[in-house]
Structure 1
């Protein structure tokens, strides 16, 4: 739950820095530093007027500047391409890797268009840098925080204390599977005695304590899974609401798309939880089934008499082998691309918007 305090001190708070965060936050800053004065420099050096006088149109000048800045952006994508190639060698699909590269290329092209738009509209490098820095601040820090807070307000979720109290109340109705004498299991005991036509649990052909553990585990799991599904549904709705803020910030859009394509989004996390819980339940019920069928009831209730009794009631380690068989697999590449469709559409809309604005500004450009 808590980060390593020593790591935080050594890295100055950047212990969670990832390659995705570098491309989402810091590469745009580098592009801003490189390109914020591309048109302004032409004015300051008095080369813009001769270019326009020689018949170079504003659109041609814009296209040349865009190609140059986009070339820098593509060069900055080379490390990502190398990492993607390594991922393909290790088993990742080509489609997913190309999707990640394409997503970040489109994201950086959005920044290229925005930088050129601002540089074409203003006449001061300081003002251009200030406007772009302000947009970066809003897009990278303010809007994502607004998205989180707005999602929490729009789709409220009960707190942990409230949820725990509700869940514990229902779990008490199910009963404690470690106490076979609990009132919740009296009817189960009566049914078993009647089914096998015996008068005592010691005479049952199955271990009653194991039957209780098996029944209680099924009941407890049903309750806890229901609460988990309710929580995951709320989380999914919150994530979807927050994703809409990608229309206000390309950083929010690329972040959502990157998580979807790399298989680290909320949907994948929820699928992992469900599959892991299914394995856990089968594992525990397998142990309970061994308890029911292979462990004598009298031996079981006397397990603490001495070391020999404990040894007789100890299950074989082979029963744990099922845990080694669990292997979580990422979703197919086409499914991940489908989940990244909305963020990609947002980034494409941003690209069209800033490009259209830049072309319009270039057409009206004056020395």
Structure 2
């Protein structure tokens, strides 16, 4: 048996004999198992609920009676985004951003019904997911397990004895590191099992799931290297424990929080009220379709009359009110798109600023990679907003065109007792409105989004390995 294997076996045997270590391993495995099972159940329920709500919303929309098309524009429609296949592994920003949206004419609403908005105040502290357990709790348990792997050998004076028996220092360090890695692998087993279940679902990518698991293995590998390095650099177990707990608190808790606050301070995002006020002011500057003396729509009326070669609105072969609705929606939608692009650009700069803090904490690039793989990051939410806006614009313009083609201008402007009946169109048109289906990002694009964070993690892994090598050399010179 090699020296590395013997040292690893002895270290694992010592962990098994220590009640505290054994309890820590058992507790974390239980937490990871519970987190995986609960997340899978929660996401399955969420997917079923959203699918049922989407079907109910579509049925209610199609069940409308004969109506004026513009009334249907304001009746609106609910759309839902089903959770991604890997969302149970890492919920990401989904609990905060919402998963549904109410679509209506002349307005671009925000997503709603997020878990945090609907849950209790305890929900704001975070959900127990496999990602949370591996990102935050697993490194802490590894610290308590491994802070003394090398420091205790120096403290007890057994390191020299091992080397006098023929064991090389690098083999001792490698064996200790291997024992810590085995413990980290045990922590990952429930998450790996859960991820395998998620990867087997329709629409999931096995390649993305494997890349995600490799990233978490690398992250825990970084912590194993750091723990072994700090244990080698300190003379007492207590000093190693204090130093490692401090590093964990800063890297896993403090730096990610400071990063988001710093990003928001550098690039503040306008709130909903500021955005609505700005859109209202810009709309008034563009033109008001309800104002008969509005300059823009006076020019629009003249261009329509010239296009059809008539002198009066009443002589048009189509309903002028419907054409105005089409043009008004086009103008407002262009404005909505400009504001949405501005907001997305600010948030992208915020994310870029947060990513810079990845040099201070490996948890930041891991979180970015994890959310990108699970399609629960900001990019996935923006994709949902873009698709819902495109869908909203399509159905509103389809209804506006139906008003132009299916309702006579004379009936649309009439006010007699029978006018309301003549303005209605057949309800069969509502079945012509397509249903909404969110199209997730392709696996290849997800892998591309994961690469920058993966490179930062790789740099952390190499840096931690170099630190351990230097610590081992120092340890050898001070034995």
Aligned residue for 1:169?
A: 281
Aligned residue for 1:58?
A: 169
Residue 6 of structure 1 and its aligned partner are, at CA, apart by: 8.6
Out of 231, 234, 237, the position equivalent to 2:343 is 231
Q: 1:319 to 1:182 in 2, by over 3 A?
A: farther
Tell me, in whole angstroms, the C-alpha distance in 2 between the residues paired with 1:344 and 1:21.
18
RMSD over aligned Cα, in angstroms?
2.7
Aligned residue for 1:319?
A: 430
Kindly provide the CA deviation profile for residues 130-175 of structure 1, in whole angstroms up to 9, marking residues without a partner as x. 1111111111222112222332344455555544433222111334
Note the 1:1-367 alignment, pairs <5 A: 7-8=119-120, 11=122, 13-91=124-202, 92-158=204-270, 160-177=272-289, 179=290, 181=292, 183=294, 184-302=296-414, 305=417, 309-310=420-421, 312-314=423-425, 316=427, 318-319=429-430, 322-330=433-441, 332-365=442-475, 366-367=478-479
**Which structure 2 residue ranges, 5 or more long, are not aligned?**
1-111
Residue 344 of structure 1 and its aligned partner are, at CA, apart by: 1.2
Q: 1:27 to 1:304 in 2, by over 3 A?
A: farther
Kindly provide the CA deviation profile for residues 231-270 of structure 1, in whole angstroms up to 9, marking residues without a partner as x. 2112112211211111111011111111222222223322
Residue 359 of structure 1 and its aligned partner are, at CA, apart by: 2.2
Whether the 8 Å CA contact 1:303–1:313 is kept in 2: the answer is: no
TM-score (structure 1 length as normaliser): 0.89
Tell me, in whole angstroms, the C-alpha distance in 1 between the residues paired with 2:415 and 2:440.
41
Whether the 8 Å CA contact 1:107–1:347 is kept in 2: the answer is: yes
Q: Secondary structure at the match of 2:412?
A: helix
Whether the 8 Å CA contact 1:40–1:120 is kept in 2: the answer is: yes
Tell me, in whole angstroms, the C-alpha distance in 1 between the residues paired with 2:432 and 2:238.
65
Whether the 8 Å CA contact 2:373–2:450 is kept in 1: the answer is: yes
Number of corresponding residues? 363
**Which structure 1 residue ranges, 5 or more long, are not aligned?**
none
- With 127-136 and 179-188 compared, the bigger mean Cα shift is at 179-188
Tell me, in whole angstroms, the C-alpha distance in 2 between the residues paired with 1:362 and 1:122.
11
TM-score (structure 2 length as normaliser): 0.69
Whether the 8 Å CA contact 2:116–2:123 is kept in 1: the answer is: no
Whether the 8 Å CA contact 2:216–2:366 is kept in 1: the answer is: yes
